[in-house]
Structure 1
Amino acid sequence: MLSTILLRQLTDQVQELHATVDTQLRPLDTARLNYKTSTASWSILECLEHLNRYSRYYNEELAKALPSQEQSCNPHEVGFTWLGRKSYDIVRPDNGKQHKTINHMNPAGSQLGPEVLHEFLRHQQHLLALLTAATGTNLNRKAVRVEFFRLLKLRVGEALQFVVAHEQRHVQQALRVVQAAQHQLSAPVLVV
């Protein structure tokens, strides 16, 4: 895909994620934000805290990878390495397979409040700025260290696609929890 088209698509997707969380999740009460469909599942806040943990790492890595001064790289085809394709395929929102997360990225059992939502929205604003900064940059340059094994690097374009797809996946998960919570918390209770 052409770099300019990719950056535009990713920008649109991040703006949509921001709007979804701001309008559909932020207004929810604490009970709904912490609702779990089972003891093994994540609440809405745990889904977003998981993404915050990734954003703390990848937003910083992307900021380091992007040049501080505007570049003049022409639009170019953005490709995938084997590692980039594998990473992206695992987190794609339409990949229904569940994957175990690494321990330090797993927020299960954390005591979380609405500040998680605000942090997520700040990370989205930062990511939008990074996408703007990526304009004119060679997105095929290997410059973003992989979180779980920092000797490996992703290309800038791969890392951006990975981050956005991962966020889409878990925001969709959070929205499914919203639906389950609305059904469960608003169901009539039969008192005998």
Structure 2
Amino acid sequence: MDTTTFLVQLQAAVRRLQAAVETELASLDDFALNFKPTSEQWSVLECLEHLNRYSRYYNPALGKAVQQVASATQSTLVRYSWLGRKSITMMQPGNGKQYKTVKHMNPAGSALSREVLAEFLAHQTQLLVLLTDAQKTDLNKKAVPVEFFRLLKLGVGEALEFVVRHQERHVQQALRTKQQAVRASLALVV
């Protein structure tokens, strides 16, 4: 896929994520935001806090890469390394396989408030700016260190897609948790 189409598609995905959080999750009460379907599953706020923790790392790393990587001379095709393809495939929202997160990215048991929602939306705004700025960048340049093993690097385009797919995956998880919370609150009323 050419870089322009690639970036436009990622921007549209980020806008959908923003809209989903603003319309589906931001209006939830504290019970629904903190409801955990099981002790091992995350609440809506934990899903978003997990994404915030990744954004605290990847947004600055992507910003640095976008600033430092030479611009592409022409619109080129986005290429994938084995690591990039594997990382993105793992995070595809349709991939039902569960993966264990690294300890410092696991929000389970954290004291969380509605501020998690505002932080998530602020990160999305930053990501949209990065996606716009990336139009002037060689997206195939390996310049973004992988969070859990910084000796490995992803291409700028791979890292951008990984971040967006990861967010889609966990926002969908949060939306499923919201549905379970609504059912649980209705059961309490009856």
TM range (shorter): over 0.9
Name the CA distance, whole Å, in 2 between partners of 1:142 and 1:101: 24
Give the 3-state SS of the residue equivalent to 1:150 in structure 2.
Answer: strand
Q: Sequence identity, in percent?
A: 57
Q: Is the 8 A contact 2:55 2:123 kept in 1?
A: yes
The AA in structure 2 aligned to 1:53 is R
Give the 3-state SS of the residue equivalent to 2:153 in structure 1.
Answer: strand
Give the 3-state SS of the residue equivalent to 1:36 in structure 2.
Answer: coil
| Residues 70/144 of structure 1: CA separation in 2 closer, same or farther (3 Å cut) | closer
Match of 2:49 in 1: 49
Q: Is 1:124 the equivalent of 2:111?
A: no
Aligned residue pairs total 190
Q: Is the 8 A contact 2:58 2:163 kept in 1?
A: yes
Query: Which aligned pairs between 1:28-107 and structure 2 lie closer than 5 A?
Result: 28-67=28-67, 71=71, 73-107=73-107
The AA in structure 1 aligned to 2:135 is T
Q: Is the 8 A contact 1:93 1:165 kept in 2?
A: yes
TM-fit CA distance, 1:131 = 0.2
- Pairwise CA RMSD: 1.4
Name the CA distance, whole Å, in 2 between partners of 1:73 and 1:21: 37
Name the CA distance, whole Å, in 1 between partners of 2:10 and 2:26: 22
Name the CA distance, whole Å, in 2 between partners of 1:177 and 1:158: 29
Match of 1:26 in 2: 26
The Cα offsets for residues 65-101 of structure 1, whole Å up to 9 and x where unpaired, read as 0126994531110010011011111111010000000
Name the CA distance, whole Å, in 2 between partners of 1:69 and 1:41: 39
What is the TM-score normalised by the length of structure 2? Answer: 0.96
What is the TM-score normalised by the length of structure 1? Answer: 0.95
Q: Is the 8 A contact 2:70 2:138 kept in 1?
A: no
The AA in structure 2 aligned to 1:44 is V
Q: Is 1:14 the equivalent of 2:14?
A: yes
Name the CA distance, whole Å, in 1 between partners of 2:176 and 2:182: 10
Give the 3-state SS of the residue equivalent to 1:151 in structure 2.
Answer: strand
| Residues 153/70 of structure 1: CA separation in 2 closer, same or farther (3 Å cut) | closer
**Residue ranges of structure 1 left out of the alignment (5+ in a row):** none
Give the 3-state SS of the residue equivalent to 1:126 in structure 2.
Answer: helix
Q: Is the 8 A contact 2:65 2:144 kept in 1?
A: yes
Match of 2:154 in 1: 154
